[in-house]
Amino acid sequence: MAIKVRKWVIILHRDVGYFLVGLTCLYAISGVAVNHIDDWNPSYSKTVEDVSIGPLESTDLDGLEREVMAALTLDPAEIRGRHRPMPARFKLFLPDGGEVDVLTTTGEGTITRLSTRPLLYEANVLHLNHMKGIWTWVADIFAVLLLMMAITGMFVLRGKKGIKGRGKWFVGAGFLLPIVFLVLHYQTL
């Protein structure tokens, strides 16, 4: 009986492991990218272009918007909003966080555009569950299957290399690592 159970544990561990390779790679790559969100934007890359369109004649928001759009040949459908933070400065907001920022007195300024990082953007959408709905269930099932992989993985090997041998030390270290970091974190608060 024990041999049959062990045989099924090994089969389950192997086959589910193969099935999870794609999702595991996606979550791992996205996880590393998102962990460094303070250093860079893992979903978007930013380009900043200097512009010089000459002094703006208009003083009202509508006129300033028309002048800047005409000078930079911007599509009106691209404009998400506008703002005049101070009398000599005018901003147009573009899709995905981009913007045009010009000095009204000189026409000097910048166009900032954001574009999605290929593959990383999509991986982050899935990992951070921006899609919600059925993807939430897929992510939950993935988490449960990873838990099953961890548990069945402890029983694949026997003897000195298995859970009764050196395996127990690795499992213990795996539980100890987050506990140590949490203790250190709460000591610094």
pLDDT given for residue 97 in this prediction = 86
Residue 2: pLDDT over 80: no
Pair 142, 158 in one domain: yes
Query: Quick one: 30 and 91 in the same domain?
Result: no
CB atoms within 10 A of CB 64: 20
pLDDT 10s digits, 71-105: 999 999 999 999 999 999 999 999 888 999 999 99
Q: Which of 91, 116, 141 is the last residue of a domain?
A: 116
pLDDT digits 0-9 by tens, 32-69: 999 999 999 999 999 999 999 999 999 899 999 999 99
87 and 133 both lie in a single domain: no
124 & 36 share domain: yes
Supply the angle between the helices 2-35 and 120-127 in degrees, to the nearest 10: 120
101, 116, 131 - which closes a domain: 116
pTM: 0.75
Q: Which of 10, 36, 45 is nearest to 152 (CA)?
A: 10
Amino acid symbol at 104:
T
Domain range for residue 35? 2-40+119-188
Q: Measuring CA to CA, how many Å separate 154 from each of 10, 17, 32?
A: 10, 14, 26
Rg of the chain taking only CA atoms, in angstroms: 27
Q: Domain check: are 78 and 123 in the same one?
A: no
Listed residues 58, 88, 116: the one ending a domain: 116
Same domain, 16 and 61: no
Number of domains in the chain: 2
Q: Which amino acid is at 20?
A: L
Residues 14 and 78 in one domain: no
Q: In what order do the strands lie in the sheet with 108-116?
A: 44-52, 108-116, 99-103, 89-93, 81-86
97 with 150, same domain?
no
Q: Determine contact, residues 86/64, Cβ cutoff 8 Å.
A: no
| 48/112 same-domain check | yes
Q: Write the CA distances from 122 to 35, 43, 119, 136, 138, integer angstroms.
A: 16, 8, 5, 15, 16
> Residue 1: is its pLDDT beyond 70?
no
In 3D space, the residue among 151, 123, 122, 117 whose CA is nearest the CA of residue 28 turns out to be 123
